[in-house]
Amino acid sequence: MKTNVAILSAGAVSILFILALAIGCTGTAPGGNETPNATTTAPAAGANVLKIATTTSLENTGLLAELERVYENETGMDLQFIAQGTGQSLDTARRGDVDLVLVHAPALEQQFIDEGYGIDPRCIAYNYFIIVGPKEDPAGIKNMSAVEAFRAIYIAGTNKTAGVVFVSRGDNSGTHAQEKALWKEAGYNYTEDILDSGAWYVEAGKGMGDTLILANEKKAYVLTDEGTYLSFADRLSLVPVITESTELMNRYSAIAVNPAKYPGVNAKGAADFINWLISDEGKQLIGDFGKAEFGKPLFVPLYAPECTQPPFNCTCAEPVPTPA
């Protein structure tokens, strides 16, 4: 009988949420246990935990682990990075599930701020997107600008030129947003002209590292941030084809979640972390990251007044106000 089933399942669900409550009270304790060397065993999630939604390109380079190590040693704050695409990160922040975002898609960031969810944006660093591809360069795009190259790849791909494949992130990440912008500049409508236009266009639906590995297997062209490419280069047979193109500037920003929208967020922790990122110490750490391992830094920190001028047009030096 339906009612019995309903009663039983209602019972099960209610028991479950009582349990969930119980877990909620105890669930944070083990988190403290797992970091025995932390100076403070966090009494409860809150003031000592800072949740940051960020991009896979930052996670995959290893920069986040380095920032986490140094910052946690200095302050005792527990940084928790959740690596998603930029689109998903901003959405996670819109839901109030994190305290801060570290992302790289200026247009999406502006929208996030305009909607009132994000406050105190500060640009931190930049590098360049690059187009990597097979050494043979079947679409012949070497020495082109990024937009010309996209046009050439599209024409070669839709004409079924042998060996021309383009792998897209396809996950609404910052890199994907950049790719879509390039298709637009090249004169194509992304949803009509590019999507489902043939076997040449492959949507990975994964993070930057995964996408590079996939492109490597398929010997395909792929748009990537330089940092992730350099940190994966020793495992890839793909080579950079287009590296210097001003259209490919890639700027990373930190934005705090507006506590007026979500009073539960760790606003002070977010402000402190942003101020640390834009401090000389934070910038030096970012600027030095990868020098030893890859022979060149993966990120270039932004300093005033350079950051306030084109093509950056952002704020990078003024400290953000720290809430009480």
For other proteins, the closer of residues 11 and 198 by Cβ is 11
Question: By CB under 8 A, which span of 11-19, 131-139, 217-225, 270-278 interacts with other proteins?
Answer: 11-19
Q: For other proteins, how many residues bind (rule: CB under 8 A)?
A: 47
Asked if residue 239 binds other proteins (CB under 8 A), the reply is no
Omega prior to 305 cis, within 30 of 0: yes
Please name which of 287, 280, 285 lies closest in space to residue 301, comparing C-alpha atoms: 287
CB contact at 8 A, 177 and 170: no
Q: What are phi and psi of 116, to 5 degrees?
A: 90, 5
Instruction: Candidates 60, 173, 245, 275: give the one binding other proteins (CB under 8 A).
Output: 60
With both helix axes pointing from N to C terminus, report the angle between 86-94 and 174-185 in degrees, rounded to the nearest 10.
120
> Closest CB to other proteins among 157 and 209?
209
- For 198, phi then psi, to 5°, come to 140, 175
Smallest gap from Cβ 256 to other proteins, in A, equals 15
Please state, in angstroms and rounded to a whole number, the distance separating the CA atoms of residues 180 and 177: 5
Q: Judged by CB under 8 A, does residue 78 bind other proteins?
A: yes
For residues 202 and 222, what is the distance between their CA atoms, to the nearest angstrom?
Answer: 10
CB 107 within 8 A of CB 184: no
**How far is residue 125 from each of residues 24, 255, 269, 285, 300, measured CA to CA in Å?**
37, 13, 21, 11, 5
Of 49 and 317, nearer to other proteins (C-beta) is 49
Is residue 1 a contact residue for other proteins (CB under 8 A)?
yes
Does residue 289 touch other proteins according to CB under 8 A?
no
* Binding-residue pattern over the window 14 to 53 for other proteins, x denoting contact by CB under 8 A: -xxx-xxx-xx-xxx-xx--xx---------x-----x--
Q: Contact between 116 and other proteins (CB under 8 A)? A: no
Site map for other proteins, 249-278, x if CB under 8 A?
-------------x-x--------------
Is 2 or 135 the residue whose CB approaches other proteins more closely? Answer: 2
Residues in contact with 137: Cβ distance below 8 Å, sequence separation at least 6, in sequence order: 241
Q: Among 66, 70, 75, 82, which residue sits at the site for other proteins (rule: CB under 8 A)?
A: 82
Q: Pattern of binders to other proteins over 182-211, x per CB under 8 A?
A: ------------------------xx-xx-
The single residue among 58, 67, 81, 154 that binds other proteins, judged by CB under 8 A, is 81
| Long-range contacts of the stretch 317-321 (C-beta < 8 A, 24+) | 317/278, 318/122, 319/275, 319/278, 320/120, 320/122, 320/256, 320/271, 320/274, 320/275, 321/120, 321/271
User: CA dihedral in degrees (127, 282, 269, 98; nearest 10)?
Assistant: 20
Tell whether residue 232 is a contact of other proteins (CB under 8 A). yes
Residues in the site for other proteins, rule: CB under 8 A? 1-2, 4-5, 8, 11-12, 15-17, 19-21, 23-24, 26-28, 30-31, 34-35, 45, 51, 56, 60, 65, 68, 78, 80-83, 95-98, 206-207, 209-210, 213, 232, 234-235, 262, 264
